[in-house]
Structure formats: structure tokens, C-alpha cells
Amino acid sequence: MRIIKLNATDSTNRFLRNLSLDSPVEDFTTIVTDDQTQGRGQMGTSWQSQPFKNLTFSVYKRFDGLLLEQQFNISMAVSLAIIKALETLNIPKLSVKWPNDILSDNQKICGVLIENVIKQNHIESSIIGIGLNVNQLQFEHFPKASSLKKITGVSYHLDEVLHLVLKQLQIEFKNFNKDNSLLKASYESYLFRKEKPSTFKSAEGLFSGIIKGVSNEGLLEVLIEDQVLKTFDLKTITLLY
């Protein structure tokens, strides 16, 4: 596995994407930086991370015959890999807030941005971007954000945490096959607020429901009335509490 360390870069996802356009890139090639200046988040947001305190990295993964409809399998495998790596560090109360925010208790400690290269209805490769808050203690503008150190009081070696996550990613992708039933069951077992009455926001306003799981396509399944199970796309709802 090739790990390329950069003192600073705008975005490790962008850097890795450009690298892969220039020359063939080996599976699991990883770009990690001490200082990401223009980190990108989901749905066009930005990702801010204090230099030298946290992990900001991107991993290249190639696929063979993975259909576009199966893209959520990548998301689930990545979320599980991060959770399993953090479990080895005894980080408490880990869960995944759909689709792939990693929480400890109800604080976000890690965000994931997966960018796929698609050819003829197949996912050829993914750039898996991970922002894991490790030793940062202040999150002035982000009251729901936290870090491993803020939660446990322990300072971590960034390289060690990086290797734990990369190892788990390799394990998850080794077991990665097109039958996603085990992967989905495991992902759902960590799903934040599953089976708990919750409040959501959509274009129509606020509504209540109970998260039951995810569909094969990665839509969130919510029971909104006694017998009515509806599925929602990320762009259409936000889980408030």
C-alpha cells in the first residue's frame, strides 16, 4: 500500500483524483496531509480541520463489475471500517448517522466523502475521503463536533490511528462482495437513532418517524405512521433529533 504524505494541500480528494487522471494508481493508495486548506464535505459543504491535529486523508479503491445501484455498499463498508478501527481504541458509543457520519454518543467525530468514477453504469473506482477529528479540542462554530481526544482525554499518534483505519478498510474490502446482506445488517446495527422516535426536516416541514433501516440503494427507511414505511434520499431530509 502506498501512502503519500503532503505537508499541505487544498483537498486530499482533489489531489488523489488528479493523480489518478495522470497515471494508473494502485489500489489503496493513500494521500494524507497535515494541513488541508480547502477540504470538501458532503453536498457541497466544506470540511474544516485544524492543521496537525487531525487526520484528513483519501484512499483510492478500484472495483470490478460493481453496479451503480450497489454504490451504497461502499459507503457501508467505509463506515464500518472506521467504527471497527475506533472500537480498537475503545472510543465509546459509536454509531453511524446515515449515510456516513461517524458519531461518538451524539457528537460527530468523522465525516466521509466518497467520489466515484463511473463508466457504463459501473463504478470503476472510488476516492474515499475521510476527515477524522483526533486531537483537536476546540470546535467553536460546530457545537455538534468532537474529537477522539475531547471524548477520552487521550492524545493519539495520527500515524497509528491512520494505520488502524487503513487496516480495517482492507479487511472490509476483502470481504466485500455483491451480496450485501451481512454488510447491511452490520451497518444497521450501528445506525444512529434506529428504532427511536425522531424528528426530521423536509421541504414540507417537520415530521416525526422511526428509522427502521436502509434500502439496498442506501435510502433511509422511516416509519412515518403506524403502517407506512417511506424511503428518503439524503437530499430530501435531515434528521434533527
**By CB under 6 A, residue 11 contacts ligand BTN:** yes
Q: Least separation, in Å, of the C-beta of 120 and ligand BTN?
A: 27
Residue 131 in contact with ligand BTN, rule: CB under 6 A: yes
Closer CB to ligand BTN, 13 or 135, in the complex: 13
Query: Which residues, 6+ apart, have CB-to-CB distance to 98 below 8 Å?
Result: 191, 192, 211, 214, 220, 234, 239
Q: Does the N-terminal peptide bond of residue 99 adopt cis geometry, omega within 30 degrees of 0?
A: yes
Q: C-alpha cell of 194? A: 434506529
Residues in the interface with ligand BTN (CB under 6 A) total 20
Query: Alpha-carbon distance 210 to 13, whole Å?
Result: 34
Of 129 and 204, nearer to ligand BTN (C-beta) is 129
Print the binding letters for residues 58-97 with ligand BTN: x by CB under 6 A, - otherwise.
x---------------------------------------
40 binding ligand BTN? (CB under 6 A): yes
Rounded-to-integer distance, Cα 13 and Cα 48, Å? 14
Cβ–Cβ contacts within 10 Å for residue 138, how many?
Answer: 11
Q: Which is nearer to ligand BTN, 52 or 208 (CB)?
A: 52
> What residues contact 181, with CB distance under 8 A and at least 6 apart?
none
Query: Which residues sit at the interface with ligand BTN, rule CB under 6 A?
Result: 11-13, 36, 39-42, 45, 47, 56-58, 101, 111-113, 129-131
